[in-house]
Amino acid sequence: MVKITYDPIHTLVVHDISKVPLDDLLRERVTPGATMPLYWCNGILFSFASPPMIDEMAKDYFSGKIHWMEVHYLEMKEYKPVIELNDEHYNGAIKVRVIDTGSSQLHRDFIAWLKNNTNK
C-alpha cells in the first residue's frame, strides 16, 4: 500500500494588501486570451499574486510556507459564481468566474485574519 501523507501549509506570508473597487478587481483578472477566476470566502471576494517559483520559493513551499506578493479584496456578502464586467474598452460584457474557496482551511484562516487585521 502507498503511504499517503497530508502536510498542509503552516505559514502564509502576505507582502501587500489593498481593498479595491469591484471594477478594478475584475479588470485585473482579464487577460488578452481569457479571464482568470476570483476567489470568494466568507464574505470576501479576492485575488492574490504568487511570486515566481524560483529556488527559494520552492524551498519555502515544500517546507510549508507560501508567499502572496499582493492581495486585492473587497467585501461581497453573498457568493456569485460569475460576475460581469461592463467596460467601454471591451466590446460587451466580460464574465469573470468566482470560485468559492470556503472549503480551504488556508483561505478561511486568511479571511479571518484579514477581517481582524484590516479596516475591511
Q: What's the number of domains the chain is made of?
A: 1
Q: What integer pLDDT is reported at residue 75 of this predicted model?
A: 96
Residue 105's Cα: distance from chain center in Å?
Answer: 13
pLDDT digit string, tens, across residues 89-108: 667 788 899 999 999 999 99
Q: What integer pLDDT is reported at residue 118 of this predicted model?
A: 83
Residue 7 inside a domain? The answer is no
Q: What integer pLDDT is reported at residue 44 of this predicted model?
A: 98
Residue 110 inside a domain? The answer is yes
Longest Cα separation, the chain: 58
pLDDT digit string, tens, across residues 40-70: 999 999 999 999 889 998 999 999 999 999 9
Residue 51 inside a domain? The answer is yes
Bigger pLDDT: 3 vs 32: 3
Percent residues over pLDDT 70 in the chain: 96
pLDDT digit string, tens, across residues 19-44: 999 999 998 888 767 789 999 999 99
Residue 10 inside a domain? The answer is no
Q: What integer pLDDT is reported at residue 67 of this predicted model?
A: 95
Residue 23 inside a domain? The answer is yes
Q: What integer pLDDT is reported at residue 92 of this predicted model?
A: 73
Residue 6 inside a domain? The answer is no
Q: Which domain holds residue 80?
A: 16-117
DSSP string, 50-112: PPP--HHHHHHHHTTEEEESEEEEEE-SS--SEEEEE-TTSSSEEEEEEEE-TT-HHHHHHHH
Residue 2 inside a domain? The answer is no
Q: What integer pLDDT is reported at residue 63 of this predicted model?
A: 94
Residue 25 inside a domain? The answer is yes
